[in-house]
Structure 1
Amino acid sequence: LPERINLGKTTLDVIHTPGHTPGSACFLDKKDGVLFSGDTVFADGVGRTDLNGGDGRALVKSLEEITTLPFEHLLPGHGTLGTKHSVVDGIRFLKG
């Protein structure tokens, strides 16, 4: 994947987030403070790691890196909207 995707007036940074799958990625809109998280993390959970290619340790590392990014709004691939707190909750869940 490229490091950045330009969509007219919007630029998305591509963030490699392995864990749910080896090729998982999130897309960060720094201007509006939005993280498009796909299946990496949801408002109320995280992407499954028990399927082929899933890796719980890699997902924890990815989520920890995500918490350093400049966003407040989380738009996951499923479910309701979340916040950066959703990512912190996901880390706690995975670490047990």
Structure 2
Amino acid sequence: MEVNAQNIKQLRQERAWTQQHLADACGLSLRTVQRAENYGNCSLDTLQALASVFEVEIVQLKLVPPPRPDNDSELPEVDQTLKYKVGGLVAAALILGFTGGYLAAAGAG
């Protein structure tokens, strides 16, 4: 299971614990703690032990998956091109609308 190695290390350092102290507190081997901190992976049992010792929820130690793309990569290239052209036309219309309103107001004064 992938875990947030930086969070684990930070929680340990905030308590001024060595990796060996954390391992002893969790009933884990030193190598298991090192693997969690250095490589960001461990078993669910290890994750539960760490969360228990740190007195935090498991979700605080799990790695948050990166955001998924908005399916643009799944669209055919023609559709993506059309999408950007339409977006550009909308932006141009907005700019011209604001500019036209400003020019009309300036000319009336």
TM-score where L is the length of structure 1? 0.27
Structure that is richer in helix per residue: 2
Structure that is richer in strand per residue: 1
